[in-house]
Amino acid sequence: MADRVDVGIVGCGGIFQWAHLQKGYVYIPEARITALVDVNEKTLADAERTLKKAYEKRIAELKEAGDTDTAALFADDLKRIRTYNDMAKMLDEAEPAAVDVCTMPDSHMPIAVKALNAGCHVMCEKPMARTWIDTLPLLDAVRKSGKHFQQNENWIWQPGWYSMRKVVDGGMIGDVIAAYLSAAHGGPEGKAAFWDPFKQGGGAMPDMAIHALTTAWFVVGFEKKPVAIQAAAPVGVARRFRKRIVAGGFRDIEAEDDSHFMVRYEDPDSLRWATTMIEGSWSYRDAPDTMVVGSAGTAAFGKDEEGHEYIEVKGANDSRRIPVSGPTWEEYPAGGYYGEIRDFVRGVREGRAPMVDAGVGSEAQAVVGAAFMSQANGMRPVEMREFKDHARQLMEEHGDKASDVLIEEGLLGLR
């Protein structure tokens, strides 16, 4: 196969092994993993084993289906993959065309900047960095390098959200007025690093709300820009279940485990706007069901007796069910992760702009920052401009420490 994209993976833990690898790369022959990098020897060895098993399983499936060419391609790849505990050495020796950044958020920016400066295209896990301040050097490196940079948000490649966007884009509910989106579960107690606000830039907001707010933005249209943010009653941005079993024992949590906030998106040219209500939670869901409200009707997800997902579009006097479907004209084996990785690889090959670019990733971080600021200021609305002016002032006053100061301020303001 011509023009395969050689990929170096940096960070080979959870998201790489169970999602990118097993739900993505093994189905995408246009991508060729040539190198694995992890600073943890055990994780690196685990990842190498998991990778071998996953490709061997896929090779057997391909042979069974009669696709011996792809099976032979993957078998050959397996012989060539090299492992590293140092990214610089990997960039030097493996010379990948692209780097897939799968580490925790505190290292996304420095790793992505290094990769871009080395001439690689980059795909980066969410959130783009710990804070908006940390996204700025990355934005700069993307602009200067001219390389393809995709901020991963797997939800927008999921058939449900893809179909919702079609409903909105197709004018089925008129102009979008508002959307309710929630990303919630009981908490990642199994992973101590997620509870360290200085690793992530907070807790449930950079981890969970980022999915909901980026996807909400996709639904209302990326041509609109986030302009104002307000922590929303009654919960706001809060620590709710304050003692958690993390790293083997009950501890007081530092970061927020729940967040509810509104975002106003406005198109600077047409002045069209929409409001979204976002929940990002590690203390279960309490937001209303997902719904997109338009000037002519509403759209919400449902499931029929056989488990098929649909979108119910309700007007004043009628309702219809739109079946949820991915791009049904081609194989779509595992939803969002498959979609985001293949779109990245195809985008690199075709020189096509990414759907979620560095600008979206950076603004999404600013929304999180403004939600912290709103909470700290008695839940009053905060304009994006105001948040950014404040962050820039911190950069002037604190230099390299500005991002940490911003995180500290956010924590001090929590309910």
Ligand X SMILES: NC(=O)c1ccc[n+]([C@@H]2O[C@H](COP(=O)([O-])OP(=O)(O)OC[C@H]3O[C@@H](n4cnc5c(N)ncnc54)[C@H](O)[C@@H]3O)[C@@H](O)[C@H]2O)c1
107 contributes a contact to ligand X by CB under 6 A: yes
Is 154 one of the binding residues for ligand X (CB under 6 A)? yes
Helices 210-220 & 358-376 angle (0-180, nearest 10)? 120
**SS3 label, residue 323:** strand
Cβ(176)–Cβ(220) below 8 Å? yes
Q: Which of 24, 38, 208, 287 binds ligand X (CB under 6 A)?
A: 38
Non-local CB neighbours of 238 within 8 Å, separated by 6+ positions? 256, 257, 258, 259, 375, 414, 415
Inter-residue contact 391 to 373 (CB < 8 Å) = no
Site stretch for ligand X (CB under 6 A), options 103-111, 160-168, 291-299, 404-412: 103-111
- The amino acid occupying position 122 is V
- Per-residue binding string, ligand X, 3-32, x by CB under 6 A, is -------xxxxxx-----------------
Judge contact between 112 and 140, C-beta under 8 A: no
Return the residue of 77, 100, 207, 404 that touches ligand X, per CB under 6 A.
207
Contact range with ligand X by CB under 6 A, out of 33-41, 50-58, 214-222, 266-274: 33-41
Alpha helices in 68-128 (DSSP H): 68-80, 87-94, 108-117
Amino acid identity at 197: P
* Residue 238, strand partner residues: 258
Residue with smallest beta-carbon separation from ligand X:
13
Count of residues that interact with ligand X, criterion CB under 6 A: 23
Binding mask 216-255 for ligand X (x = CB under 6 A): ----------------------------------------
Q: Which stretch binds ligand X (CB under 6 A): 24-32, 104-112, 253-261, 360-368?
A: 104-112
Query: Residue 76: what residue type?
Result: D
Q: Which CB, 361 or 410, lies closer to ligand X?
A: 361
**Contact status: 87 vs ligand X (CB under 6 A):** yes
Catalog residues that contact ligand X under the rule CB under 6 A.
10-15, 37-40, 43, 87, 102-105, 107, 111, 125-126, 154, 193, 207
